[in-house]
Structures are given as C-alpha cells and as structure tokens.
Amino acid sequence: MPPVISSLSKHQEKQLMSLFGHVRLHLLYKATIHGFTAAAFHGHCDRQGPTVIVAYNAAGFVFGAYTSKDYTQSGAAVIDGEAFLYSINDGRKEPLRVGGISGQHAFTDEGSGPNYGALVFLHEDKSAVQSNPGSCFNFKPEEMHGTDLKLTEFEVYRVEGLFFKSPIRYIFMMCRKKQQLMKSIQNYQPEIQTVNQACVLLVGPVGAGKSSFFNSINSAFRGNMTCQAITGTAGTSVTTQYRAYTIKAGRRGGNLPLVLCDTMGLEENPESGLNIDDVVSIFKGHMVDRYQVFKYMRALDSPGYKKHVNLSDRIHCLAYVIDSCKVALLSQKMVDKFSAIRKKANQLGIPQVLLMTKVDEACPLVAKDISNVYHSVYIQKKARQLSESLGIPLSYVMPVKNYSEELELDQNTDILLFMALEQMLNYADSYFENQIVEDRPENSRPELYRSSDHPRQFLTERDDPKIV
Ligand SMILES: Nc1nc2c(ncn2[C@@H]2O[C@H](COP(=O)(O)OP(=O)(O)OP(=O)(O)O)[C@@H](O)[C@H]2O)c(=O)[nH]1
Ligand SMILES: [Mg+2]
C-alpha cells in the first residue's frame, strides 16, 4: 500500500482512540486514493481482523462502525457482541457510542460496501451512506451524521494492540497476509494470451537499491537469503550488465509470472551511467539479457540489440528506485534525467511506480519495527517530496526495505516487498489493457486478446513449498 495519510485531526484521533483504550490504528484503506467502491474496500480490508470504519461528511461529522470480526464476503449475517457505531462531532464533548440491538446481527458480510443495517457505507459504489436507524443499531440521524449522507472521505483502520495481547494472534494474522500476497503474485497472469510474464524495469541512481530489490524479492520467494545480483557501493554503478531476472516460487518451484529487469545506475553526467537511449531500447525490448552497458547501444548491428521483438520482450511497468535518505540530495540534473525517462515511458504508455528504498536507514522508528513505515511522518514527508519533484502521484510511491545485512528473512519486510510487487503487477495489467484493441475485428488480432478467454494455469501450493 502506498503511504496514504489519515484525514483524522489530532482531536478526532484522540476521541476515536478513547472508544478503545490503548490501541494502535493502522490505516488500511482511504477511498479518495483507492476508490469509493466496494471492490476497493474489500481488496484492502478483507481478513484484517478488528477494524474501524471512519467516514467523514461536509457537515463536520466523523462517524463509523467498529467490528472485531473479519470481512470475508461470505454473505452471512455476522453476530459480533463487540461491534458498535460511533460519531464524533465538534458540538459534542464525548463521542457518541451506539451498541447493537439485542438479538440482532452486527453486519451482513457481503460483497457490497460494509452493511451495518442502520448504516450502509459506500452505498451503490458511491461516496454515500444509507441511513436506516432501527435496523441492527438505533440512533438519531441528526446525532450520528446530521442530515448529510454524502461522504467526503472514507477510511478503514485495523485496530491493533488491545486484541493482540497475545502475540501469537498477531503473528498468525501477518502470516496469513503474507500468504495471501504470495498467492496473488504467483497466480497473476497477464491479460494478453501470448505474454506469460510481466516485465518490470528497475531504474534509478547508482546505489539506490535496484539489484538489492531483486535479491530481496528472490530471497523472500525462495525462503532463504540469496545474492544472485551483485550489490554494494562504489563510485560508479556496481551493475554494468542489463539483466532480466526470473524468480522461482521456492527452491524447486516454477517461475513466477514476472521478470525483474535490473540495469546500470543513472548518473548526473550525461556521458556516464545508463543512457536514456539505452533505456528506450530496453523499454521496446531490444536489449538482450546480460548486455554490458558500457557504451550506447545506438548501432542497430550491435550484438546486444535484438531486432525482432514482440510484446513479451517489452517493458510492461517501470519502477523508479530512489534511496529515501537521498531525496533532498537529488540534483536538478538527476531530476531532469528522470523527467526525460518519464517522457519516453509516457509516450510508450508504460505505467510507472516509485520505490522508496532504505526506509530503515531514513527513519529510526522504521529501523526498530518495519511495520511503523506507515506511521512515520518522516517517510510520509519524503514520499511527498519525491512525488512533487518527479511529478508522480503520491499513491504510486511505495516504501520498501531491501535485505542488506540480514541473515534471516523477516515477515514484515517480506510483506512490504510483496505489496510493492503486487502493485507493479496491477499496473502492468493496465499496460496490457491498453494493448487490447477492442475495435479491431477478431481475425485481425492474432495475439492481442484476453488470456481470461483461456483456462488459467495457477501455481498450486504443492508447487510452492516455501509458503510459510
Ligand atoms: N539498509 C538498507 N540498505 C540497502 C537497502 N537497499 C539497498 N541497500 C544497500 O545499498 C547498497 C547499494 O545497493 P544496490 O542494490 O547495489 O544498489 P543499485 O541500485 O543496484 O546500485 P548500482 O548497481 O551501483 O547502480 C548496498 O550496500 C545495499 O546493501 C535498504 O532498503 N536498506
Ligand atoms: Mg545494481
């Protein structure tokens, strides 16, 4: 998840927390960023354990619902004695808390927006709430939400702490989250039938952590530390070869449906580091794996130039990789290089994301516990700065921590890496969507049709011995 920021004011947050006691709220979903749709809500909030909904309206009400149960889209009426509705408003000293009507269920766990009977959020996939007091919960509408049923914002937080007095439960939940992400990545299949793997290109300044990102993803899927790509620090780029790495799901597992392409680092000097013409060759799929990027590959007869290319050779998603500690040090020349690359990528319709690496070095709070990454004001500030200087929307900026000196894998680090990867695959899908020429007759599009017309070949858990 990108570093989305809570809209709660300090006062509202304090009032909300007073309903729970000593807890930590972890923002899972923010509708103005992820969309005011039931699908977006379920994509971020299903199976997250105890959660609280925070809805905002223009009349100044912050209101919502707490449940200690999971959302799973089971279709069942869920009984939850701990569930309650609440409302916070400047005109009131204490928050309003409304418990459920005795003998009635708390919410209906369906595929629509969260349905608490008396309050149905994201009603009809809109930024609206439907109010029916008396069904499951009872309240006076003017006390709950005024007369304003239109939502200006809608957020969902996981409620952590109180319920994780038992560390076992917390570990179990994070384990489940990691498994879900791994499965979703393994089961990914490009929208186009002739393409088996999405190609993601990593581009960034020397030492930003491009090769380490590949090593980290490879390690997380293998289940042990790997160092296939050479990493380290030097005056110039440690990586000199263009590499298109495949990744295995477990030691003896099959290849994942993605290729991570690692390159030489960018340098300020126009004559040094990765050249923009080379980047364009890579975008179009002309550069062969293991090409030594010593000099420009403009000559079409260069041995590293693949003349005949098809859609699967091309880059389907571009990830800019930037060291979080060096955001303020990005020179104008480097920013210009990024915008030149961005212009070329835009022309070719390649979706772009931004990986902020080394979040552990940038913020001591995150170094202590990687799951603090979304609470770190410093990381959020850096993400904003990057978004503004490179002109990339904030929701496309993803913080990650690569494995650098660790000897063992860490679950929270893996989750952050997988979340970034899953997002890249989603964006690669947007690239494929754009390749499907809907208005051409069937017989004139031999390779450009949706793979969903054909049975999907999913990896099974048996193929994936390393899922933990
Ligand atoms: N603490 C920390 N160190 C990192 C992280 N990512 C990379 N590093 C370290 O940063 C240094 C450079 O990482 P590389 O992966 O080699 O960087 P690169 O972008 O591939 O660099 P070039 O190939 O030289 O362009 C290495 O010493 C890594 O161990 C991270 O997220 N956290
Ligand atoms: Mg490298």
Domain range summary for the chain, segments of one domain joined by +: 10-166, 187-463
Question: pLDDT-based confidence at 464, cuts 50/70/90?
Answer: very low
pLDDT in tens, 420-437: 999 999 999 989 988 865
> What number of residues does the chain have?
468
Question: pLDDT-based confidence at 113, cuts 50/70/90?
Answer: very high
- Are the beta carbons of 347 and 230 closer than 8 angstroms? no
Q: Whose CA is nearest to atom 7 of ligand 1?
A: 209
pLDDT at 381: 86
Span from the CA of 294 to the centroid of ligand 2 (angstroms) = 14
Amino acid at 72: T
pLDDT at 436: 67
Of 14 and 235, more confident: 14
pLDDT at 458: 31
How large is the average pLDDT for residues 200-212?
97
Of 438 and 205, more confident: 205
Q: Which ligand is nearest to the CA of 204?
A: 1
Instruction: State the residue for tokens 């499907």.
Output: 436
SS (H, E, C) 63-124: EEEEECCCECCCCEEECCCCCEEEEECCCCCCCEEEEECCCCCCEEECCCCCECCCEEECHH
Span from the CA of 71 to the centroid of ligand 1 (angstroms) = 38
**Under 8 Å CB-to-CB from 271, ≥6 apart: which residues?**
none
Q: Which ligand is nearest to the CA of 213?
A: 1
Residue whose CB lies within 8 A of the most ligand 1 atoms, among 337, 404, 410, 413, for a mutation test: 404
User: With pLDDT > 70 as the criterion, what percentage of the chain qualifies?
Assistant: 87
Q: What is the largest CA-CA distance in the chain?
A: 79
Span from the CA of 359 to the centroid of ligand 1 (angstroms) = 12
- Are the beta carbons of 217 and 421 closer than 8 angstroms? yes
Q: Whose CA is nearest to atom 11 of ligand 1?
A: 232
Closest ligand 1 atom, residue 405 Cα: 29
Q: Is the pLDDT of residue 441 over 70?
A: no
Backbone angle region of 427, left / alpha / beta, with phi > 0 → left and psi within -120 to 50 → alpha:
alpha
Q: Is the pLDDT of residue 165 over 60?
A: no
How large is the average pLDDT for residues 124-146?
95
Torsion, CA 331, CA 335, CA 340, CA 341, rounded to 10: 110
Judge if pTM exceeds 0.75.
Answer: no
Q: Which ligand is nearest to the CA of 361?
A: 1
How large is the average pLDDT for residues 9-35?
88
Q: Where are the alpha helices (DSSP H) in 312-410?
A: 332-347, 359-362, 364-368, 377-390
pLDDT at 234: 85
How large is the average pLDDT for residues 196-217?
96
* CATH, range 187-463: 3.40.50.300
Q: Which ligand is nearest to the CA of 403?
A: 1
Q: Whose CA is nearest to atom 23 of ligand 1?
A: 239
pLDDT at 393: 87
Residue whose CB lies within 8 A of the most ligand 1 atoms, among 211, 218, 231, for a mutation test: 231
Q: Is the pLDDT of residue 180 over 50?
A: yes
Q: Is the pLDDT of residue 124 over 60?
A: yes
Q: Is the pLDDT of residue 294 over 70?
A: no
Question: pLDDT-based confidence at 328, cuts 50/70/90?
Answer: confident
Q: Whose CA is nearest to atom 24 of ligand 1?
A: 237
**Average pLDDT value over all residues in the chain:** 86
Question: pLDDT-based confidence at 303, cuts 50/70/90?
Answer: confident
pLDDT in tens, 38-75: 999 998 999 888 899 999 999 999 999 999 899 999 99
- From the list 298, 235, 297, 299, the residue with the least C-alpha distance to 267 is 235
Span from the CA of 211 to the centroid of ligand 1 (angstroms) = 7
Q: Is the pLDDT of residue 466 over 50?
A: no
Question: pLDDT-based confidence at 133, cuts 50/70/90?
Answer: very high
HSE value, Cβ hemisphere, 13 Å, CA-based, for 363? 24
Q: Whose CA is nearest to atom 30 of ligand 1?
A: 358
Question: pLDDT-based confidence at 462, cuts 50/70/90?
Answer: very low
Of 345 and 451, more confident: 345
Ligand 1 lining (C-beta closer than 6 Å): 204, 206-212, 231-233, 237-239, 265, 357-358, 360-361, 401-402, 404
Whole-angstrom Cα Rg for the chain: 24
Q: Is the pLDDT of residue 135 over 90?
A: yes
Span from the CA of 207 to the centroid of ligand 1 (angstroms) = 5
Span from the CA of 236 to the centroid of ligand 2 (angstroms) = 10
HSE value, Cβ hemisphere, 13 Å, CA-based, for 352? 23
- From the list 146, 135, 132, 118, the residue with the least C-alpha distance to 53 is 118
Q: Which ligand is nearest to the CA of 366?
A: 1
